[in-house]
Amino acid sequence: MSISLQGVGRRFNREWIFRGVEQTFVSGESYAILGPNGSGKSTLLQVLNASLAPSAGTISFTLNDDKLEAEYVFKHIALAAPYMEVIEEFTLSEMIDFHFKFKNYLSGIGRAEVIALLGMETSKDKLIRYFSSGMKQRLKLALAFFADTPILMLDEPTSNLDNQGIDWYLSLIQRYAAGRLLIVCSNQEHEYSFCHHQLRISDYKQS
């Protein structure tokens, strides 16, 4: 799968968040979108996953050499981001079951494997509202990594994670990101140091 941007820009009111982005993202490669907080990384990611339309330029999506309409892109993307919410009235088991009604599991993965890989066997029937911020972040990452999608998008993936959680995140990258189109939005090197390509928002801050 590929995503191609030609002269893409996005503005809110009269302010351009970024402008003139020329980039093609292809399967099997990893990309880091870099910039300080508030620079527009998340906005660009939302354009890439078709939840926001560009204000200028064009974006095209291709799956198996066929054009994919923007309205169907979500089926092929797994996303973990700080602004995404988990349903706090659900237990861990219920949240996993609910999520995977909409996405297929990776081969060899099921609910039990997700819980085990999270290390949360004793919390499978616990309401998510009682989870720590780190546990919630691990859950968001697990739901994204273990979905069978060609594109994996991660926005500030280690927010609320301690050092052990960061090591766990990096192990997921090694085991479950290979062969996918991986896009990481970050301003912390440990989150994206493995990425083959870098795109800096500051390069597209045109007036």
Q: In this structure, what token pair is assigned to residue 153? A: 């998008």
Separation of first and last alpha carbons in the chain: 32
Q: In this structure, what token pair is assigned to residue 189? A: 């090197």
- Whether the full predicted model's pTM is greater than 0.85, yes or no, is yes
- Give residue-wise pLDDT tens across range 105-149: 999 999 999 999 999 999 999 999 999 999 999 999 999 999 999
159: domain CATH number is 3.40.50.300
Number of structural domains found in the chain: 1
Contact between 176 and 141 (Cβ < 8 Å): no
- Give residue-wise pLDDT tens across range 80-92: 998 899 999 999 9
Q: Which domain holds residue 62?
A: 2-204
